Amino acid sequence: MKMNGARIMLECLKKEGVDTIFGYPGGTVINLYDELFNFKEIHHILPRHEQAGTHAADGYARATGRVGVALATSGPGATNTVTGIATAYMDSIPMVIITGQVPTPLIGNDAFQEVDIIGITRPCTKHSFLIRNVKDIALTMKKAFYIARSGRPGPVLVDFPKDVQMAMGEFHYPETVEIRGYKPTLTGHPRQIEKAVAMVLESRRPVLYVGGGAVLGGAAEPLTTLARTLSVPVTTTLMGLGAFPESDELSLGMLGMHGAYCANMAMTNSDMIIAVGARFDDRVTGKLSTFAPHAKIIHIDVDPTSIKKNVRVDLPIVGDVKDVLQKMLIQAEKSAEKVAAFTEGTASWHADIAGWKEKHPISYKQSSTIIKPQYVIQKLRELSDDDAIISTDVGQHQMWTAQFFKFNKPRTLLTSGGLGTMGFGLPAAMGAQAAFPNRQVITICGDGGVQMNIQEMATLVQNRLPVKIVILNNNFLGMVRQWQELFFDRRYSSTCMELPIDYIKLADAYGAKGFLATKPSEVESVITAGFREEGPVIMEFKIAREEKVLPMVPAGASLNEMVLNA
């Protein structure tokens, strides 16, 4: 049966199991929208800005592990998706972004709403396609989804000209796809795995350093089992939070710039770092020349370019982290005697770590008069569901969430780690809530970032997405203010938000409910009331204005040179 290109595109999405897309209409996607009008298998959510639509598709992908799909028109619609695409690219999130394009004969003519979106997004996509012919749609989409989700995942952009949407063609979806230049290595090399286990069992001060790859690769379970079997302490990056339960004795919490003292001390004193799906980001390593000076490093990653990019590696293993960890476990179980000797040999290491944990735990000074942001985070953890999904924006509240929320399950923290995108939290929560209508979804924001996509309140109300929006309001761009306080002599250049906003009225204006807490004694009741509401809610907390995120490794300092109190 012949159908037009727009319809073929929707049939492709259906074949890929896409149930929800986030899109914004416009001149070059009007044909797609016309087909969507009666296409019941795909639920379309209309955000109020294409950037938010892309973040929502990203949040959907982070929460579910499936490919998120965003749709935008050509020109400004397409350029509005760029921040969303770059955010997903930096955190390796599987996404397909479909952009309308002017008709093929007009491409290159500076036509109305024409932009070279493939050129603009080339450095922040895993790959991109321009569909020039209706007969290429199905194969292109098959490739796009395959590339987005396999290997190290990432966003793939498909530029879809209007005349191709209108052209008639047959629809045949390919069963399989073969891309000769793209063969991700998924199985770890058996000899390397054997060597890795032997190296670990010879060490005395081992630590597992776990990144977002462990979450994306579905490796939480083998990771937890391996850590417990060998009794190796685990520290995670911001992106790795949830891959290993923070409630576990072996958890050191997050490492790096605002990481736990014990985690950074463990890295610095370790003789064996097992890096799992992590990329030795500068926020994690501190000064490279003094990073982990005594450690041998085993690096497991599906992306060979992550290995030896920033630090020397003694043993690289390229492969799917889940597969590699499972095989390491099998290998370790073969040598039970060595494992027993190894765990005995690490006793003094565990004692060191316990000492560091006790000496400088992640903490804050409670107040009876002013709301401390850390207290709000702790209360949120206490009062929220076990499987609640938390998204954040970027800044102080993000670090407090990472330090105090205590994540125990993978895919329960959605945060922009690599790009550090303000305005991510609210739309990402929207995407997660669309995927899981019955789970509690909370976005924790500052008063800066929440403004960047506040228009999505309308989308939440319209689509009955009951996201709970927590605003930690210090009327500052707090993280930059903190740097100005510590490193720029308190010159608060443009970081004070000046105009206070009435978020309760704002919630009301969008048809949502708003709650405000100004005293510590009101925190619990506001959270309880907010969680009780069936619809979307803003919970605003007026917090201590100049509270800092601590501890802190100043930029360029060594990991063990932490500012603990300032």
Partner 1 sequence: MQHTISVIVENDFGVLSRVATLFSGRGFNIESLSVAPTNEEGLSRMTIVTQGDAQVLEQINKQLYKLIDVLKVLDFTDGSAIERELALIKVAAEDDARAEVLRIVDIFRAKIIDVTPKSYTIEATGNPLKIDAILELLRPLGLKELVRTGSVAIGRGAKGWNG
Contacts with partner 1, residue ranges (CB under 8 A): 118-119, 122-123, 126-128, 130, 147, 179-182, 303-305, 308-309
Q: What is the Cα–Cα distance from 61 to 403, expressed in whole angstroms?
A: 24
Q: How far is the CB of 89 from partner 1 (least distance, A)?
A: 12
Helix (H) or strand (E) holding 500: none
Q: What is the Cα–Cα distance from 87 to 180, expressed in whole angstroms?
A: 28
Q: How far is the CB of 174 from partner 1 (least distance, A)?
A: 17
Q: How far is the CB of 176 from partner 1 (least distance, A)?
A: 17
Nearer to partner 1 (CB atom), residue 414 or residue 419: 419
112 annotated active-site: yes
Nearer to partner 1 (CB atom), residue 17 or residue 181: 181
Q: How far is the CB of 147 from partner 1 (least distance, A)?
A: 6
Phi, psi of 443 (to 5 degrees): -110, 130
CB burial class (10 A; 0-12, 13-18, 19+) of residue 564? exposed
Three-class DSSP category at 162: helix
Compute CA 308 distance to the chain's CA centroid, rounded to the nearest angstrom: 23
Residue 249: CB partners within 8 Å, gap ≥ 6? none
488 annotated active-site: no
- Strand runs labelled E in 16-131: 20-23, 43-45, 68-72, 95-101, 127-130
Instruction: Look up residue 537 and give its two tokens.
Output: 């809610």
Candidates 9, 257, 272, 479; catalytic one: 479
In angstroms, the Cα distances linking 177 to 172, 174, 188, 545 are 13, 7, 23, 55
267 annotated active-site: no
Candidates 2, 41, 112, 183; catalytic one: 112
Nearer to partner 1 (CB atom), residue 308 or residue 490: 308
Q: What is the Cα–Cα distance from 405 to 392, expressed in whole angstroms?
A: 12
Candidates 162, 322, 372, 542; catalytic one: 162
Three-class DSSP category at 469: strand
505 annotated active-site: no
Candidates 11, 16, 35, 50; catalytic one: 50
Nearer to partner 1 (CB atom), residue 27 or residue 184: 184
Candidates 3, 113, 202, 455; catalytic one: 113
Q: For residue 188, count other CB atoms closer than 10 A to its CB.
A: 22
Nearer to partner 1 (CB atom), residue 133 or residue 366: 133
287 annotated active-site: no
Q: How far is the CB of 304 from partner 1 (least distance, A)?
A: 5
Q: How far is the CB of 236 from partner 1 (least distance, A)?
A: 25
Three-class DSSP category at 243: coil
Nearer to partner 1 (CB atom), residue 138 or residue 147: 147
- If we measure between CA atoms, which residue out of 322, 341, 385 comes closest to residue 202? 341
Catalytic sites, residue numbers: 50, 112-113, 162, 479
